Chain A
């Protein structure tokens, strides 16, 4: 075991982690730990753009953006945080441009902007061009630009270091962050990183679904590490299904395709979104569009022999426009489906995309131990966190924005804290939990296989807690996950080695997914209303009286060692916007 000492440790090197690292490296001695290489992070898969009311191409302002974000989140958004997001969006985009990001340009040389779902002029009058973009690889360009600037700033990376545990030390009754424990993939060695400040920026957990746009590596590692140490997870029942994933594969086809004029059609060729969202049509918020697609499919208007998908039609757009604005997604259609998008519509279905919930933080990125108390020295930003700027449903282009605004804020706050604070003493035998976990899995002779449990988990999640949910389906999921967790205790791996043991890695990842899936299902069961991405067929309306509040899920271990999930609730911060019925 090796022990390292840094002022600030950042867990994850996607957009949020690297944006934080650029700030914290200037202010404190910083290490960035990533289980991949920085440029492999899933920020790079984001396509359509980053929202900011630059008003480069038409009238716009941050107040309209704030409103759209709150409405898009079905009023579960903390309104003070949404205002910060929309205000700081403008400088965030300009900062990236100054760092070198090659945005597409208007004829007069400023950053070009395009339409995106849920972003509107004057509180819902009509779609507005707010998304700043670089073709359909905006996330790729953000990831590359941030990595390039990390090189410039001399950020210190520990690549292929997998963080497995969060160290907490109680000082005078207050839980404080002491550091993290990581497993070095190349050697199997365990490393303890003592740090004054730790920032989680490790991304989402979409791999508990089968059809997903998420990378294989998005397994909720950060959420699981803090949750197991008794810290809460907020609003985990809210998961976004992106309307346009490639049929059966789940690969993302950007909403920018509809922003450029693409149209969703059912088997009769009908532009069905006109029925569900007369004003915004195909550019309604993602939860609305995904439910509309499944309604078409359920009512027999789906396409194909099994009627299990609809079409994204780009055939009326000029090929030059597709080549200039949507080159990557048109290539995906060619590569994976053998379809030519110039002439043929693309079969799509909603795909599990984004966790609105996560580790609760305040607007400085400080992690909360309960509704009010911060954990000194612990921060989170990006998809792993829940500020909450996305509420019950995130708007497209607000996640690339979130990672930049709150990655920056967390990086500054953590580094400033680290320069003032003292080290917190490490717990006795700090690596014990990880050593025990790794050895148990490596030495296990159990008969259960990772692949079978993971498959069963993904199937139950897709079947029971996807776009439409009922008490019955969620209960089925809770029971199934419980049974899978039992089986997981008996799991073994074939690779017993130390070097690049990805077999072991996958087993650990599965453990994280199982924990988070259970939190999600239990949180969803208790929320007896429909709001944003959480739709209960047995409670089809929003219930502001009983559920205008954030879910806070805690892991509890009884005296008998039995684990359970305790749910609590946190008020939503409301400033100037009264909840209204959501129409697009």
Chain B
């Protein structure tokens, strides 16, 4: 590393430092729903100051901790790996902990709603059970026959790469709940379950591909996909989901995987 890089970096950080003093006033417009109080969901506005380099999750915490303790949402790791805090932010599915305020125009009201297609239980909390049921239904585990080897199964780096992308999935449901087919018909397996199946169908060690393809050949399976790419755009892990779904469709036709 050159000292020029160091200087450049220090000054970039110094800039960041000085802008930290420049808090912005933001309006968060949040979809609230609490069946203990009312059957109707409402929009509620919260106005406060925040450093634009902070996350949407930090803003939600600010509201919950300083303004209204009843605001309810799920979260855990706060850096995009646990998949708890998928929500609809300014009309797009994102993880609240991976979205910085400055990247979503803090000068206009920022809307936050629960993800769509799953029953809202309270505020931003939805019923995740149908989502996980679809995942469980595709048999998302390694299926093998014969005796286990004493050491590890061999796999070439190339074979390992074949399904690398779909191993990144954190089951946050951002993809499935962005899919218009899933909104209209909750029976559709949805992109995340297909990603889960893809991860095993294209794993050279697995022998359950045919079984999973049969499951996905169902009327609620991959053929419902209309290739709108919403899922790929929504994925906070950058998985090329539509491509994975296409690969599963192709495997169903060619029976090669």
Which A positions have Cβ atoms within 8 angstroms of B?
Answer: 36-37, 39-42, 44-45, 93-94, 97-100, 102-111, 134-135, 137, 140-141, 144, 148-149, 151-152, 186, 215-217, 249, 251, 265, 267, 269, 303-306, 311, 313, 315-316, 328, 332, 335-336, 338-339, 343-345, 347, 449-451, 493-495, 497-503
Interface residues of B, count at CB 8 A: 70
B74 CB contacts on chain A under 8 angstroms: 40
Docked complex Cα distance between A217 and B74 (Å) = 10
B82 touches A39 (CB 8 A): yes
Task: Give which listed residue, A102, A134, A149, A449, contacts B203 with CB less than 8 A.
Answer: A102
B104 CB contacts on chain A under 8 angstroms: none
CB-CB under 8 A for A335 and B152, given A451-B66, A500-B125: no
Which B positions have Cβ atoms within 8 angstroms of A?
Answer: 1-3, 5-6, 8-10, 12-14, 16-17, 34-37, 64-66, 68-70, 72-84, 98, 100, 121-123, 125, 128, 132, 136, 139-142, 148-149, 151-157, 160, 163-164, 167-171, 200, 203, 205-206
CB-CB under 8 A for A100 and B156, given A151-B141, A216-B75: no
B77 touches A45 (CB 8 A): yes
A137 CB contacts on chain B under 8 angstroms: 81, 168
Task: Give which listed residue, A45, A104, A111, A269, contacts B79 with CB less than 8 A.
Answer: A45
A493 CB contacts on chain B under 8 angstroms: 69
A505 to B, closest residue via Cβ: B72
Docked complex Cα distance between A451 and B139 (Å) = 43
A102 touches B160 (CB 8 A): yes
A214 to B, closest residue via Cβ: B77
B199 to A, closest residue via Cβ: A102
Task: Give which listed residue, A110, A338, A345, contacts B152 with CB less than 8 A.
Answer: A110
A153 to B, closest residue via Cβ: B141
CB-CB under 8 A for A304 and B10, given A42-B76, A151-B141, A497-B34: yes
A500 touches B72 (CB 8 A): yes
Separation in Å of the A488 CB from the closest CB of chain B?
16
A141 CB contacts on chain B under 8 angstroms: 167
Separation in Å of the B79 CB from the closest CB of chain A?
5
Docked complex Cα distance between A122 and B163 (Å) = 37
Docked complex Cα distance between A219 and B161 (Å) = 37
A144 touches B82 (CB 8 A): no
B3 to A, closest residue via Cβ: A269
Interface centre among A315, A451, A500 (most CB of B within 10 A): A500
B1 touches A316 (CB 8 A): yes
Separation in Å of the B92 CB from the closest CB of chain A?
16
B152 CB contacts on chain A under 8 angstroms: 93-94, 97-98, 103, 110-111
Separation in Å of the B237 CB from the closest CB of chain A?
9
A499 touches B10 (CB 8 A): no
Task: Give which listed residue, B5, B82, B164, contacts A44 with CB less than 8 A.
Answer: B82
- 10 A-B pairs, CB-CB below 8 angstroms? A42-B76, A45-B77, A98-B153, A102-B160, A111-B152, A137-B168, A215-B77, A216-B77, A217-B76, A495-B70
Separation in Å of the B75 CB from the closest CB of chain A?
6
Separation in Å of the A555 CB from the closest CB of chain B?
28
Give how many A-B residue pairs fall within 8 Å (CB-CB): 186
B171 CB contacts on chain A under 8 angstroms: 39
B167 to A, closest residue via Cβ: A102
Docked complex Cα distance between A110 and B154 (Å) = 5
Docked complex Cα distance between A249 and B243 (Å) = 34
B1 touches A345 (CB 8 A): yes
Give the dominant DSSP class at B's interface.
loop
A39 CB contacts on chain B under 8 angstroms: 82-83, 170-171
B8 to A, closest residue via Cβ: A344
Separation in Å of the B251 CB from the closest CB of chain A?
19
A140 CB contacts on chain B under 8 angstroms: 81, 168, 170
B66 CB contacts on chain A under 8 angstroms: 451
B141 touches A40 (CB 8 A): no
Docked complex Cα distance between A335 and B3 (Å) = 24
A216 touches B76 (CB 8 A): yes
A46 to B, closest residue via Cβ: B81
B10 touches A494 (CB 8 A): no
B100 touches A335 (CB 8 A): yes
Separation in Å of the B164 CB from the closest CB of chain A?
7
A497 to B, closest residue via Cβ: B36
A105 touches B160 (CB 8 A): yes
Docked complex Cα distance between A99 and B34 (Å) = 42
CB-CB under 8 A for A499 and B156, given A45-B77, A102-B164, A269-B1: no
A44 CB contacts on chain B under 8 angstroms: 77, 81-82, 170
B72 CB contacts on chain A under 8 angstroms: 495, 500-503
B16 CB contacts on chain A under 8 angstroms: 338
B169 to A, closest residue via Cβ: A144
Task: Give which listed residue, A42, A110, A265, contacts B77 with CB less than 8 A.
Answer: A42
B82 touches A42 (CB 8 A): yes
7 smallest beta-carbon distances between A and B, as pairs = A100-B142, A494-B69, A109-B154, A451-B65, A503-B69, A148-B141, A152-B141
Separation in Å of the B211 CB from the closest CB of chain A?
13
B128 CB contacts on chain A under 8 angstroms: 37
B154 to A, closest residue via Cβ: A109
Separation in Å of the B56 CB from the closest CB of chain A?
12
Interface centre among B79, B81, B140 (most CB of A within 10 A): B81
B77 CB contacts on chain A under 8 angstroms: 40, 42, 44-45, 215-216
